[in-house]
Structure 1
Amino acid sequence: MSEKSTRIGEARSVAASLLDDLETSSLSVDKILMRAKRLARLMRDTDAQLWLDYETKGYPQAFGFHELGNCEVYAISSGRYDESAGTYRTLSLPEIEAKVYGAQVSLDSFSPVAVGAVKDFTEKRATEELLGNQIKLQRANKESYSSYKAIFVSLIAGLHNYATDMYLALELGDAAQDIFEGARNEIDSFVRAHCPKAAEKIVAINERIADDSVESRTAALTSCRRLLMTVADSLFPASDEDWRDAKGKLRKVGEEQYKNRLLAYMSERTDSGSNEAIIGSELEFLAARLDAIYEKTCKGVHVDVTAQEARLAVIHTYLFLGEMALLPREPLGNIDNIRE
């Protein structure tokens, strides 16, 4: 098991434990915060680490909540920041918990029996003043408890929202991994059986993407084009004879017309026009992007390919191979799709 897999597995366990603590446990909030910070560390979530550090130690007097990045939403939605007033609470969560506890102790220690037991005062005014002060103190304690309790519960809800989002993200990651693992097995089997030379191209593409420079990203997309050409060579070798598509249109299927050759292979193995159209549109989109990169590089024109664009193109290329892998191995005998 890789270090990343171990870390993600531990993060999943911590997220589940954190949710359990928030929903059922009587742990003090400082221990809950420590567990939340551990989750943020395992997830490499620097925004959460900063946010939780402020929740643990308190917020500075001059602070902009945009500094929390992705965790700004948790701080604001939990009531830490009052957008209408433009103010925020600086007390840490442990300090607010202590305020709640202190107010609770004061309420519990108030005894109506003790008030009623004042019988030795000879002055009526003194008795009324004592009772009035006791009532005011009790009211103040109730208001303090209610106020700090509401704030505390709201801030804890922010922690719960964060823990829930992290747990769901980890679950989604597992589901996506299972889905892609299944697709990867299909694609690997397809490549080994029908176009083993394509495996070398896939390895080369991965190495160039990992290099993460503009030149390497451009080279990776050029390799994606070569990969599709290699697959086309294996599945539908180039021919001087034109291929007639389902609409009766003649298409060139020479060496450079790899897209038409892939379309021909798909058409011969697809009995649904809608499926063929969907896969064909995916190929059109992918080929147009890769061909544009290839033509510019051939002319010596600089191509500024972002890391995101390169990754998406590589993913689309790989998923297209998955589409090809799911097609029947033998032609369906579609008489419209024949070579002239």
Structure 2
Amino acid sequence: MSDRIDEARQVARTLLNDLETVTVRTEGVLMKAKRLARLMRDSDAQLWLEYETSGYPSEHFNPTDLGTCERYVRQSGRIDPTGKYWIASLPQIEAIGEGYKQRAEAMVGTVDKSVVVENYLVKRATEEFLANQTQQQIAARKLYNDNEALAVALRASIHSYATDVFLAIELGDAAQDIFEEARKRIDNFVRSHAPKAAEQLVAVNERMAEGSLESYSHALTTCRRLLLTVADALFPARSQPYTDKSGKPRVVGSENYKNRLMAFVEENAASEGSTVLIQSGLEHLAARLDAVNAKVSKGVHTDVTQEEARLAVIHTYLFLGEVARASKTSTVPLRS
């Protein structure tokens, strides 16, 4: 885990503590939340928190501009169901609320209601004055309560964001540990049984790093060659068909890498259920890799997005993990 993510974890932890113990002024909370957003490279949160710090635009504001943080704004009540929204920043809302509170408190005891007034006109005027004062006090108290509720909800939205970030980091740690363990097993397997495939894995990574549509296509064709290499190491090509457990003959020539890999898995997998699952995954992966390879071989341009290429590479790597797992349960020596 990078130093940046470690720092983000610590900032999220202290931010949650600040919000839960109410030991830091709102300005300090916002500054720390903005720092967390920067560390997470979260541009949506940076924009949202800047608005919370400095105020929202009085016009031309679209909540969807906040992206993933729109939900925090809506949950807090800053935007009502009709689309109207509070323009003031969070510190301004708190300051306005404090003003209403002081106004309401200043009205308490300004008039002595116990004074006996004998003159009817004076009595009536006094009662009207007292009623008006009471109404103003109630109105000021309501304004304070409404502002305070909004301020609390806005702080709660920052708490929700910090919680989500903290949990995401923790989940990332767990996922990294899981994949790190799988990576070690796969890397050991590849180095031991198909060293050439290790070089191809490096080549795939280099192609992905280039970041062009052409390089993504080349990354997938390299994935296909990688599977061919692994198949050559585990189940070398044969001139005679391989008969699977269902009695069906399968061609296992040099280009039939899919059949050869499944022949190896079938011979070594712990259960038939495992074989079926692995075969299903390989069918999908091979279909994608073969389609790209066919177009590239003919010189036909094919658009492969970064996301498609990344998923295919991950799928290839995880398939190698399944093959490695099958080889681990095998009691038959691997072919050399």
TM-score by length of 2: 0.92
Quick check: 226-235 or 109-118, which moved more? 109-118
Give distance in 2, aligned partners of 1:212 and 1:82.
Answer: 43
TM-superposition CA deviations, 1:61-109 (whole Å, max 9, x none): 11111211221121122111123x2311111110111122222333444
The Cα RMSD (Å) is 2.1
> Is the alpha carbon distance of 1:27 and 1:182 closer, same or farther for their aligned partners in structure 2, counting shifts above 3 Å?
same
Letter in 2 for 1:158: S
Q: Name the residue aligned to 2:47.
A: 50
Quick check: 274-283 or 17-26, which moved more? 17-26
Choose the corresponding residue for 1:105, options 99, 102, 122. Answer: 102
Q: Name the residue aligned to 1:79.
A: 77
Query: What does 1:1-340 correspond to in 2, within 5 Å?
Result: 5-62=2-59, 63-83=61-81, 85-112=82-109, 115-116=112-113, 123-125=122-124, 127-329=126-328, 331=330
Same amino acid, percent of matched pairs: 55
> How far did residue 126 of structure 1 move?
5.1
> How far did residue 295 of structure 1 move?
1.1
How many residues are aligned here? Answer: 329
> Is the alpha carbon distance of 1:97 and 1:305 closer, same or farther for their aligned partners in structure 2, counting shifts above 3 Å?
same
Give distance in 2, aligned partners of 1:7 and 1:221.
Answer: 31
Name the SS of the counterpart of 1:88 in structure 2. Answer: coil
> How far did residue 118 of structure 1 move?
5.7
Name the SS of the counterpart of 1:207 in structure 2. Answer: helix
Give distance in 2, aligned partners of 1:318 and 1:66.
Answer: 37
Letter in 1 for 2:244: D
> How far did residue 117 of structure 1 move?
7.1
Give distance in 1, aligned partners of 2:170 and 2:324.
Answer: 27
TM-superposition CA deviations, 1:170-223 (whole Å, max 9, x none): 111111111111101111111111111111000000000000111111110000
Letter in 1 for 2:40: M
TM-superposition CA deviations, 1:112-148 (whole Å, max 9, x none): 4863576799843454344334312321221111211
TM-score by length of 1: 0.91
Q: Name the residue aligned to 1:337.
A: none
Give distance in 1, aligned partners of 2:198 and 2:116.
Answer: 96
Q: Is the 8 A contact 1:208 1:217 kept in 2?
A: yes
Letter in 2 for 1:255: S
Q: Is the 8 A contact 2:9 2:169 kept in 1?
A: yes
Give distance in 2, aligned partners of 1:143 and 1:34.
Answer: 30
Letter in 2 for 1:16: R
> How far did residue 111 of structure 1 move?
3.7
> Is the alpha carbon distance of 1:208 and 1:119 closer, same or farther for their aligned partners in structure 2, counting shifts above 3 Å?
same
> How far did residue 266 of structure 1 move?
0.5
Q: Is the 8 A contact 1:40 1:49 kept in 2?
A: yes
Quick check: 112-121 or 72-81, which moved more? 112-121
Unaligned residue ranges in structure 1 (runs of 5+): 334-340
